[in-house]
Amino acid sequence: MRLYNQRIDNVLAVVTLIFLAVFPLLASDFRVELMGKFLVYALFALSLNLVWGYTGLLSLGHAVFFGLGGYMLGLAYSLQNGVPPFMSRFGIEEIPLVMRPLESVPLALLLGILVPGVVAGLIGYFIFTSKVSGTYFSIITLALAMLFEMFVVNMQAYTGGFNGLMGLPRFPVNGEPLPLTTYYFIVLGVTALAYLFTKWLMETHFGKVVKSIREHESRIQFFGYNPARFKIFVFTVSGMLAGLSGMLYVPMNGFISPQDVGVVMSTSVVVWLAIGGRGTLMGPVLGALAVNWLSNLLSEQYPTLWQLFLGAVVVLIVLFLPNGLYGTLEHWWKERSLHRAEKETKAVLLTESKVDLKKARWRA
């Protein structure tokens, strides 16, 4: 059963990887850039999948970590040529002390993972060590997303405010921005690694404990595990991964704005994951890619209708396909192979018993 179950994941993952790898050879630069952006979204969805899909904690503010990562790198690029215009406009002549570390891009790359991780760890510690239940966690994280968005808009002198940070280069090495395709493959590589990491993590003992927290928290507590510690750890890792995706987003997109780090982004990723299938390996990837491509195709002509459709799909998915599209497919596949395996075993048993009978007769 295990074998059959893994096969569909592996097959789909390889097919998707091959498709994504040859995509830049066939498509125009415009589309490659789009696909690169959606790949970043897939990585972001993978990070939410760790907390929501496997641990059962619905974070409605995951864009906070995405944004922290993105703004670290965005600010680092903005600071490369001294005080950026959005700062000097407010009479700031020197780069503030807090932002000095961001003058170094490699350090910013490190901070873009560490800062979201630390923030996620603190939030996790703060929430999970109390008796606050799952739904409160969702409300608190939603409020945090709103707060963070307000904060970024409000700190105009330091974050570029409502307009965000613009004109960010594509990951320059020695002053030269990377070619689009090269950067695309970096993003693809990182996303594939994140996929493999999720797969590995969920097969370890740790992953099993985490999944059983989702299924039955008090039962795992009776076994002597402390669910709070596991939740904090998963949330921290997920925050770091979200920060990484935010960082990859900046060079691909060329700008980052408060809309990317607040309620809208946080809820979008929830939608991709719900449609793709939470708690599955390929669900987040396929969900993010498919929803965004469709959205891109349809929203130009029918922006309102598309959103209307998306809302209805979310409701229908929750009611009828709670495992999402991919989750349902996987489930169906599992049932089918289980059924087959059962048949095969029966057949084998039957022939074996006939052989036995013959032997018995012969002996007699």
Partner 1 sequence: MVMQQIADGLGVAGVLAIAALGLGIVFGVMKIINMAHGELIMIGAYTTYMVCTVGHLSYYAGMVASFLVAAAVGLLMERFILRRLYGRPLETLLATFGLSIFLQQFIRLVFGPDGKSVSSPFQGTWMIGDVAIPLFRLFIVIVAIVMILVTAWVMFRTRFGMQLRAVTQNRSMSECLGLNTSRIDALTFAFGAGLAGLAGAVLAPIKTVSPSMGLDYLIDSFMVVVLGGIGSLAGTALGSGLLGESNQLMTAFISETGAKMIVFLLVILVIRFRPEGLFRMERR
| Residues lying near partner 1 in the complex (CB under 8 A) | 56, 58, 126-127, 130-136, 138-140, 142-144, 146-147, 150-151, 153-154, 263, 267, 270-271, 274, 304-305, 307-308, 310-315, 317-319, 322
CB 74 within 8 A of CB 165: yes
CA separation for the pair 316, 117 (Å, rounded) = 34
* CB nearer partner 1, residue 1 or residue 264: 264
Closest approach of partner 1 to the CB of residue 235, in Å? 15
Do residues 37 and 249 touch, judged by C-beta distance below 8 A? yes
Question: Positive or negative, the Cα torsion across 194, 198, 203, 208?
Answer: positive
Closest alpha carbon to 252 in 86, 102, 29, 27:
29
Nearer to partner 1, 312 or 357 (CB): 312
Q: How far is the CB of 263 from partner 1 (least distance, A)?
A: 7
Least distance from partner 1 to the Cβ atom of residue 220, Å: 18
Q: Mind giving me the DSSP string for 151-177?
A: HHHH-HHHH-GGG-B----S--BTTBP
- How buried is residue 278: exposed, middle or buried, by Cβ count under 10 Å (0-12/13-18/19+)? buried
Q: What are phi and psi of 85, to 5 degrees?
A: -55, -35
Cβ neighbours for 4, distance < 8 A, ≥ 6 positions apart: 333, 334, 337, 338, 340, 341
The CB-of-134 to partner 1 minimum distance in angstroms stands at 6
Q: Which is nearer to partner 1, 139 or 348 (CB)?
A: 139
With respect to partner 1, which residue has the nearer C-beta, 73 or 321?
A: 321
Q: Residue 261 Cβ, how far from partner 1 at the closest point, in Å?
A: 15
Residue 170 vs 231, nearer CB to partner 1:
231
Residue 327 beta carbon to partner 1: minimum distance, rounded to whole angstroms: 14
| CB-side neighbour CA atoms (13 Å) of 122 | 7
Q: Which is nearer to partner 1, 144 or 242 (CB)?
A: 144
CB of residue 140 vs partner 1: minimum separation in angstroms?
6
Judge contact between 166 and 160, C-beta under 8 A: yes
- CA distance linking residue 61 with residue 139, whole number of Å: 9
- Nearer to partner 1 among residue 105 and residue 298 (C-beta): 298
How many residues are given for the chain?
364
From 333, 312, 334, 316, select the one nearest 324 (Cα to Cα): 316
Smallest gap from residue 274 Cβ to partner 1 (A): 6
Query: Burial code of 130-153, b = ≥16 C-beta within 10 A, e = fewer?
Result: eeeeeeebbebbbebbbebbebbb
Name which of 79 and 261 has its Cβ closer to partner 1: 261
Query: Which residue, 5 or 156, is less far from partner 1 as judged by CB?
Result: 156
Q: Residue 279 Cβ, how far from partner 1 at the closest point, in Å?
A: 12
CB contact at 8 A, 235 and 124? yes
